[in-house]
Structure 1
Amino acid sequence: MSSELALTRAAPRTARISRTAAFGAAAATFATLYLAAGAPTPLLVVYQREWGFPEWVLTVAFAAYAGGLLAALLVVGSLSDRLGRRPVITAALIVEVVAMLMFFGANGIGWVIAARVVQGVATGAATSAFSAWIVELAPESRKRLGALLASLAPAAGLGLGALLTGAAVQLSSHASQIVFATLALIMLFGAAAAALAPETAVRERFSWRSLMPRVAVPNAAKREFLAAVPVHLATWMLAGLFFGLVPTVLGAVFDLHSGLVSGVTTFVEPAAATVAGYLLGRFVPRRSVLIGTAALAVGSTLITLGIVQADYALLIGGGAVAGVGFGTSFSGALRGVLPLARPDERAGLSAAVYVVAYLSFGVPAIIAGELVGAFGLLPVAVGYAVAIVIAAAIGFLAQWRLAQASALTERSA
């Protein structure tokens, strides 16, 4: 039997909703996908209290999501360039519904970890397709807005997920069921909207070999991509700190055990990232990244001092400043690299960016979790924050060198 399926370049089925409506629905659903990713963070503290598992299991639950997401990005990250955005996103959202139902019925940490893996797979499968689709669905006069929304949706969703779930934990003894039943319904609506939306990618012949793990960085984008690697490392290590380590730090260092406090604390960084990314999105990409990496370094220094001194105000303030750096630098880096790819390369390039991002999100937090047993939580958390400062400084220097090289080229022309 042939390994290729006859998926041709014929025009896709006529859409039943307009491009403008599809653009709004895609951006909202993408943010909700990450809202669901942030939702379990405040609940992990509740699960630990109810089920009595050790603290290192929290790191396993965190790592399970990142692992599933990375596997999906590697295997199907660029698949929507061949099959189309609509079928990949629709299928991924249905898998996300399955994950929500697993969370809803979980009666032990094993089920939660399994649900996190499934959720990671769904998020990884949808992320690069959504990033490309939102830009492509945006009206011609709003392409910059499309790129901005694609870059801000993950941070906005993660922050809102943690905040709203934290509030649910504080207000109801059935927070888990309320949160995940609601999210399952939203994902179903999102899947229906995706199925009815216009297709923006030209379908090509599909080969099973296209599922071999790979990332795709076009030659035209390689210089910008490589210069942004330390930027992504710093930004997503920051996210890993707040979603992977800070919930534990709040209890062990600050003696704060409230689910709402955990949600609010986790919310501050991505909320600041979203607002800053939107307000500073008018800057050219290079300037945005330079401003962002400087803010990351300053904010992470404040976070370090807050942890060392057990000063909650410093922790929150540092998270807000570093969050400004996250939103400004990550959105700037995406706006700088995505336009360098052709439409048929865009999902593959988005996949490459998010592979770097989620390696930075998951791997350092996993290593930190392993080191806690040997060195203690406080030294590991401080060392983690210092590593963010160093990565941000390297990212700033890499971007500064590219800015200087571009200026020199312009003067020579």
Structure 2
Amino acid sequence: MKLQSNATFWVASCAFVLVFMTSGTPISLFNLYRVENGLTNADLGVVSLAYFISAAVALLMFGRLSNHIGRKPMALIAIGCCALSCILLMLMTDVTLLFAARLLQGFACGVATSSIGAYAVDAGEHQPKWLVAAVASTSPMVGIPLGAISSGALVTWGPYPKITIFALVLTLLLVCLALLFNCRETINRQPGALASLRPSLHLPTGKTFIFVATAGVVISTWSAGGFYQAFGPSIVAEQLAMDSAIVAAIAFSSIMGLTPFGSYLSGRLSPRRAVQSGMALFCVAVMSITLALQQGGLVLFIVASLSVGIAQGLASTACIKLLLQDEPQHYRAGLLSTVYIISYSGAVLPAFGASIAANWFSVFTVWCGYAVLGVGAAAIALMATVLVRRSRQAEVVGS
């Protein structure tokens, strides 16, 4: 018996979050792998790079494939890759298995951001528009912290932390697989599957300034998240004088923790106002984080980081809502792929530069560089919202 559209929406949304929860679970275990399995910082750097490259390749090559073979098969592939990665991580003894697991997780995340995101959008026709946009834009920010905090808690208090968390996540993935098999397909399959593997980006027609605003929003917020992922444990140890896996996980997750709340608030505002409010809050939060790191203030750091999550939810949900508005169904997967390629680039490219800079500069100095990048990208997003309004006013006058 096939599930109805509303049920399919919720299953697809949960699958989207679960993929990123799976990718977040190893993060809190990296220090444990260094101690017990002899991994080096260089090993972990290569593993993280493999994850991001795999996600980018999946977005570039497989982002539009669901238009041709269906949303559901691609969702099943993503969940299956996550399940296999959990099995590899339960057997983890050296960097080779961790490398393979992160490759699978990166590929699953790339597939999920286009195919499962589009699946949820397709099935969400009867859901509030802000909710659908929130699922498409913030699921990674919900899933990754869930995984990191869960594994961090088990490292601190649970038995067999390197096995238990992956056994639990694997169970959830298998349940999700069973539910997905009973979901309805939301798209009419089209020929040309092989041709769709040719890397390409889809840019929305007539929405140039909205797209520029979106790019500014995701670069500013994802770059900050990339800093936390790369330097979260170092922040806690060096700047905040704390040595705890669960505190490190909370610090890493705080920047994404209130993203869903920001998405909810976005539904209460006009899209332009939501973007402007979000980016203004982001700039204030970035300055507060800088002050907190300089003074070693854990409470201010957590509060400011949570504010970044609210800002991200506000602005990114509004941008995705505007981009998807009136967009034909067969363009949705490609458009989401393009947005997430920019998002991943906003995280990966600064992280690559920061990993080199960290050999000569302190974590605080590296953060200052991120702060300049984030505020600059936020300023571009703010200017783009002004240009959107002016262009629309010009259209009204011209007509």
Structure 2 length normalisation: TM-score?
0.94
Structure-2 change in CA distance of 1:399 and 1:57 (3 Å): farther
1:19 matched to 2:5:
yes
Structure 1 residues 205 and 293: CA distance shift in structure 2, 3 A: same
2:20 maps to which residue?
A: 34
The alpha carbon displacement at 1:106 in A equals 0.9
> What is the match of residue 145 of structure 1?
131
1:249 maps to amino acid = I
Q: What SS does the aligned partner of 1:357 have?
A: helix
- Give the distance between the partners of 1:312 and 1:143, measured in 2 at CA: 36
The yes-or-no answer on 1:76 pairing with 2:48 is no
Mean Cα displacement is larger for which, 117-126 or 215-224?
A: 215-224
What's the secondary structure of 1:282's corresponding residue? coil
Whole-angstrom distance in 1 between the partners of 2:90 and 2:367: 31
What is the CA distance between 1:396 and its match in structure 2?
Answer: 1.5
Aligned length: 399
* Aligned residue identity for 1:255: A
Question: For 1:128 and 1:163, how far apart are their aligned partners in 2?
Answer: 25
Amino acid at match of 1:253: Q
1-structure distance, mates of 2:45, 2:304: 23
Point out the more displaced range, 106-115 or 68-77: 106-115
Q: Deviations over 1:142-197 (max 9, x none)?
A: 34422222223221112222222211111124122111111122222222222221
Residue in 2 that maps onto 1:384:
370
Secondary structure, aligned partner of 2:359: helix
1:103 matches 2:89: yes
Is the contact made by 1:72 and 1:124 (CA closer than 8 Å) also made in structure 2?
yes
Partner of 1:85: 71
Structure 2 match to 1:11 = none
TM-aligned CA deviation for residue 311 of structure 1: 2.2
Q: What's the CA shift string for 1:272-311, capped at 9, x where partnerless?
A: 2121112332322222111111111111111122222222
CA distance in 2, matches of 1:94, 1:330: 28
**2:284 equivalent among 298, 304, 309:** 298
Using a 3 Å threshold, how does the CA distance of structure 1 residues 249 and 113 change in structure 2: closer, same or farther?
farther
Which of 63, 67, 72 lines up with 2:49 in the alignment? 63
Output the CA distance in 2 between the equivalents of 1:400 and 1:272: 27
| CA distance, structure 1, for counterparts of residue 45 and residue 294 of structure 2 | 21
CA contact (8 A) 1:228 1:399 kept: no
Unaligned runs of 5+ in 1: 1-14
Equivalent residue for 1:323?
309
Shift of 1:211: 0.8
> Structure 1 residue 325: deviation in Å?
1.0
**Alpha-carbon distance in structure 1 between the residues aligned to 2:216 and 2:127:** 32
Partner of 1:394: 380
Match of 2:163 in 1: 177
The answer to whether the 8 A contact 2:204-2:323 is kept is: no
In 1, the alpha carbon distance for the partners of 2:266 and 2:130 equals 12
Instruction: Name the CA distance, whole Å, in 1 between partners of 2:216 and 2:87.
Output: 37
The residue aligned with 1:362 is 348
Partners of 2:83 and 2:293 in 1: how far apart? 37
Q: Deviation of residue 119 (structure 1)?
A: 0.5
Other structure's SS at 2:184 match: coil
2:198 matched to 1:212? yes
State the distance in 2 between where 1:109 and 1:258 align: 23
The answer for the alignment partner of 2:329 in structure 1 is 343
Give, in whole Å, the separation in 2 of the partners of 1:135 and 1:207.
Answer: 21
Native 8 Å contact 1:59 1:366 kept in 2: no
In the aligned structure 2, how far is the partner of 1:261 from the partner of 1:161?
14
**Structure 2 match to 1:353:** 339
CA contact (8 A) 2:259 2:312 kept: yes
8 Å Cα contact 2:56-2:344 kept in structure 1: yes
Q: Which amino acid aligns with 2:355?
A: G
* Contact in 1 for aligned 2:76/2:177 (Cα 8 Å): yes
Structure 2: unaligned runs, 5 residues or longer: none
Distance 1:141 1:312 in 2: 39
Q: 1:143 to 1:386 in 2, by over 3 A?
A: closer
Change (3 A) 1:385 1:48: farther
In the TM superposition, residue 328 of structure 1 has moved relative to its aligned partner by 0.9
Is 1:334 the counterpart of 2:320 in the alignment? yes
CA distance in 1, matches of 2:62, 2:138: 22
**2:264 pairs with one of 268, 278, 282:** 278
Distance 1:278 1:61 in 2: 35
Distance 1:84 1:236 in 2: 29
2:300 alignment partner, one of 314, 327, 340: 314
What's the CA shift for 1:34? 1.2
* Separation of aligned partners in 2, 1:232 and 1:100: 29
Instruction: Work out whether residues 293 and 395 of structure 1, in 8 Å CA contact, stay in contact via their aligned partners in 2.
Output: yes
For 2:213, the equivalent position in structure 1 comes to 227
1:8 is matched with none
CA contact (8 A) 1:100 1:180 kept: yes
Q: Which amino acid aligns with 1:345?
A: Y
Moved more, 309-318 or 57-66: 57-66
Cα distance between partner residues in 1 of 2:397 and 2:310: 32
Contact 2:286 2:304 in 1 (8 A): yes
- Alpha-carbon separation, structure 2, partners of 1:382 and 1:110: 34
Structure 1, 347-356 or 263-272: larger mean CA deviation: 263-272
Residue among 162, 181, 197 paired with 1:195: 181
SS at match of 1:219: coil
Deviation per CA, 1:254-273: give whole Å up to 9, x if none.
33221100111122221121
Structure 1 length-normalised TM: 0.91
Deviations 1:347-387 (A, max 9, x none): 01011011101111222112211211133433222222332
SS of the residue 1:165 aligns to:
helix
Q: Kindly indicate whether the alpha-carbon contact (under 8 Å) linking 2:134 and 2:313 is maintained by their aligned counterparts in 1.
A: no
Shift of the alpha carbon at 1:237?
0.6
Structure 2 residue aligned with 1:128? 114
- Alpha-carbon shift at residue 139 of structure 1 (Å): 4.3
1:190-215 Cα offsets, whole Å, 9 max, x none, are 22222221111110113422211112
